[in-house]
Amino acid sequence: MKTGILLYDRFSEYELSVVLSVLTQGNKEKVFIGLNSSPVKGEAGLTCIPETTIDQVDLSEIDSIVLPGVDDFRHLVEAEELFTFVRKVAEQNAIIAAISSAPIVLAKAGVLSGHNYTVGVSLEFLSESGIFEAGNYIDGPLVQDRNIITARGSYFVGFAVAFGRKLGLEFNPNWYK
């Protein structure tokens, strides 16, 4: 089984750095998934080429996904194909990890419903967006609720360690201190 790493324009590279290291240490297969097959440029300018797309990936090979945040979410607000993909992954009871602004994708897809979460957006956006269940918001750096892990962007190391542990990987968390 593989972990799908979602790539979309303006993704936050640093939020993936430790996750990728934990997955590599734990010998976990990864597949880099784009919204389409075009190269994707992160917020710091790193260009990545997806190995597959959300329409082409074999979901039977995916047991987990990671969604990085973005520095400007507006281009993903209407990405219905992304929300559909996330719903399909959630229906398989996969482990879903979303950091920084990426829980917006989970909320838009409807998979945060009934789950506790945190998110790296303003409380004003949280209440005005109408997509989050306010009663399930936890004001903390990391929240794990069943198969969903959410974190604020600045907690990217703890996020990666929690994800690796949830997957049952063998890795050295002290490497990241």
What pLDDT sits at residue 14?
A: 97
Task: Collapse the DSSP code of 117 into the 3-class scheme (helix H, G, I; strand E, B; otherwise coil) and give the result.
Answer: strand
Q: 131-171, pLDDT tens digit by residue? A: 989 899 999 999 999 999 999 999 999 999 999 999 999 99
What pLDDT sits at residue 121?
A: 87
Q: 90-146, pLDDT tens digit by residue? A: 999 999 999 999 999 999 999 999 999 999 987 787 778 889 898 999 999 999 999
CA distance 153 to 155: 5
What pLDDT sits at residue 19?
A: 98
Helix (H) or strand (E) holding 141: none
CA distance 15 to 35: 19
Task: Collapse the DSSP code of 94 into the 3-class scheme (helix H, G, I; strand E, B; otherwise coil) and give the result.
Answer: coil
pLDDT of residue 81 exceeding 90: yes
Q: Which domains does the chain have, with CATH numbers?
A: 2-170 (3.40.50.880)
**pTM of the model as a whole:** 0.96
